[in-house]
């Protein structure tokens, strides 16, 4: 409805604006112009005379030949003469103007006001229609229920119909510890821990995921990233077994070889650590973030140059 109203207002305003262009009087002759009439030449001569006298009056005051009172009276007289000359010019122009030009009337005040009002109304209407589909960023689109919150099937919701995160996390934890969680359940639980600030509980969940899905290297590597250099890490022998499983599947994984070198050093096996570090140092680009640390560690165990 607003769109139709706005369109009608725009069409009405446009019609009122362009209608005068289609009237026969709009194509009347413009005349020869006032420059070709003798009264104009007389006005030009009179204007030049008055201009010269005004300039002379100012010069006389500056030179001290007349005082301020005389200067003011002269200016007043010359201004009155200029006004009289202008009136004479207007009368002459009216006398010489074509009849059609003299009879032309400007649009009435009421018509002009109505046209302006229509244009303003059309502008507001178009603006209202254009902004009706804008997104209100000052409030939630779900606040009045106009846009319902979509929740996956089976997701617990609170009294307001919003997803109940705590209940969802509890349900996922129950699946994990019951041993029937899917890989996606593990990933969702880990993301939830990140959102809730419970990252400290993530290693235990990752360990359970790696044990339940041993072929999923993502779980194993994420677990190793979190615990290899952690002060609360499990025994190095246990972690080394995890790394060996990864390298058995992907022998050239540089990150796994790095972890194996660190674990071997923890277990007092510098020779085994040196083998992996030498393998890494020739394969990592010089600007790799870990290249410097690899070279430093290799130097410390006596297998490279500082």
pLDDT band at 305 (very low <50, low <70, confident <90, very high): very low
- Burial of 242-279, coded b for 16+ CB within 10 Å and e otherwise, reads bbeebeeeeeebbebbbbbbbbbbbeebbebbbbbbeb
Residue with the larger pLDDT of the pair 232 and 253? 253
Question: What's the pLDDT score for residue 76?
Answer: 86
Question: What's the pLDDT score for residue 47?
Answer: 77
pLDDT band at 66 (very low <50, low <70, confident <90, very high): confident
pLDDT at 249 over 70: yes
Question: What's the pLDDT score for residue 129?
Answer: 65
SS3 157: strand
Question: What's the pLDDT score for residue 134?
Answer: 60
Residue with the larger pLDDT of the pair 110 and 213? 213
* Cβ proximity of 216 and 183 under 8 Å: yes
HSE of 83, CA atoms in CB hemisphere, 13 A = 6
Report how far residue 73's alpha carbon sits from residue 44's, in angstroms, rounded to the nearest whole number.
Answer: 24
- Reported as a single tens digit per residue, the pLDDT across 20-64 is 656 655 556 555 554 445 666 776 777 788 888 888 888 888 888
Question: What's the pLDDT score for residue 179?
Answer: 84
pLDDT band at 284 (very low <50, low <70, confident <90, very high): confident
End-to-end CA distance of the chain: 80
CA neighbor of 259 nearest in space, from 288, 226, 286: 226
Question: What's the pLDDT score for residue 39?
Answer: 65
pLDDT band at 131 (very low <50, low <70, confident <90, very high): low
Question: What's the pLDDT score for residue 150?
Answer: 56
Task: Provide the mean pLDDT of the chain.
Answer: 77
Q: What is the mean pLDDT of the segment spanning 240-252?
A: 91
Residue with the larger pLDDT of the pair 25 and 122? 122
pLDDT at 209 over 80: yes
Question: What's the pLDDT score for residue 306?
Answer: 39
């Amino acid at each position: 409805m607003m769109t139709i109203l706005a369109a009608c207002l725009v069409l009405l305003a446009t019609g009122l604006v362009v209608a005068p262009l289609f009237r026969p009087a709009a194509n009347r002759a413009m005349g020869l112009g006032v420059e070709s009439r003798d009264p104009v030449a007389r006005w030009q001569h009179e204007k030049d005379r008055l201009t010269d006298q005004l300039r002379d009056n100012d010069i006389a005051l500056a030179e001290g030949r007349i005082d301020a009172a005389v200067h003011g009276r002269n200016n007043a007289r010359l201004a009155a003469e200029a006004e009289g000359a202008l009136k004479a010019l207007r009368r002459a122009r009216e006398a010489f103007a074509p009849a059609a030009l003299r009879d032309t009337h400007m649009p009435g005040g009421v018509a002009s006001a109505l046209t302006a009002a229509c244009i303003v109304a059309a502008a507001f209407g178009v603006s209202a229609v254009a902004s009706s589909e804008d997104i209100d960023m000052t409030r939630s689109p779900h606040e009045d229920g106009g846009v319902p919150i979509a929740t996956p099937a089976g997701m617990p919701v609170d009294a307001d119909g919003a997803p109940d995160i705590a209940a969802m996390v509890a349900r996922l934890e129950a699946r994990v510890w019951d041993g029937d969680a899917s890989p996606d359940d593990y990933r969702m639980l880990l993301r939830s821990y990140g959102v809730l600030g419970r990252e400290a509980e993530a290693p235990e969940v990752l360990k359970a995921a790696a044990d339940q899905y041993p072929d999923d290297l993502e779980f194993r590597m994420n677990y190793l990233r979190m615990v290899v250099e952690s002060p609360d890490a499990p025994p190095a022998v246990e972690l080394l077994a995890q790394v060996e499983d990864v390298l058995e599947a992907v022998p050239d994984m540089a990150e796994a070889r790095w972890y194996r070198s660190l674990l071997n050093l923890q277990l007092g096996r510098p020779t085994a650590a040196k083998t992996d570090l030498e393998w890494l140092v020739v394969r990592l680009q010089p600007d790799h973030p870990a290249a410097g640390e690899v070279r430093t560690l290799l130097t410390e165990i006596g297998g490279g140059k500082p």
